Amino acid sequence: MWFGIVAPFAIFSALRSLRRIHASDGELHGVASAIAGLIAALVALLVVVGGVAYWIAAS
């Protein structure tokens, strides 16, 4: 859950990193790491949103 709560910041950070990498004309590397971080953050966000939604609906 903690990962889900900080996920929006991770998504923001990953997108920002990707933008900077693309703008660097090859000077900066790490596209794969940034994408991996972005996916992990999206999954974490999905888990928390899904979990909370289930809790509200089911309980």
Partner 1 sequence: MDRRVLIQRVLLVALAVLVALFTYPGAMVASFATRITPPPTSSRGPAGALSWLHVEHPSGAIPYIADDEARMVFLHGATPASLLEFGPRNQPEYPIDPAAYENGQCPANKAESKYPPLCEADVAQMARLGFNVIRLPISWSLLEPQRGQFSRTYIDRVAQIVDWARAEGIYVIVDMHQNAYSNFVGASDSSVDLGQYSGAPAWATFTDGLPSHVFVKQREVNPAVLEATTNFWYDRNGIQDEYLAALAHIARRFRDDPVVAGYGVYNEPLIGWGLPPGFEDLLLFPFYRRAIDAITGAHDGLPCWSGFFMPAVCGYRNLGAGDARHLIFLDTGLLREVTDFPTHLSMPLSSYPNTVLALHAYTHFYTVDHLLPQLVSSTTYPWGGYDQSYSLGEHEARAMGAALFVSEFGSPPDDDSRLLASQVVEQERHRTGFAFWTWKENGGSGAWGIYASPKNAADPNGCLRSDREQLLARIYPRATADTNLVFRYDSGNGSFSLDAVGDVGDAATVVYVPPEVTGDVTVTGAASTIVDQGADGSRLVTTSPTGGAFGVQVAAATLNLTGCD
Q: Using the rule CB under 8 A, is 3 a contact of partner 1?
A: yes
Tokens (6 digits) for 59 = 């309980």
Stretch that binds partner 1, among 7-15, 19-27, 50-58 (CB under 8 A): 50-58
Q: How far is the CB of 26 from partner 1 (least distance, A)?
A: 15
Q: How far is CA 57 from the centre of its chain?
A: 25
Q: Using CA atoms, how far apart are residues 57 and 13, in angstroms rounded to an integer?
A: 31
Q: How far is the CB of 45 from partner 1 (least distance, A)?
A: 11
DSSP secondary structure letter of residue 31:
H
Q: Using the rule CB under 8 A, is 51 a contact of partner 1?
A: yes
Tokens (6 digits) for 20 = 């900077």
Q: Using the rule CB under 8 A, is 50 a contact of partner 1?
A: yes
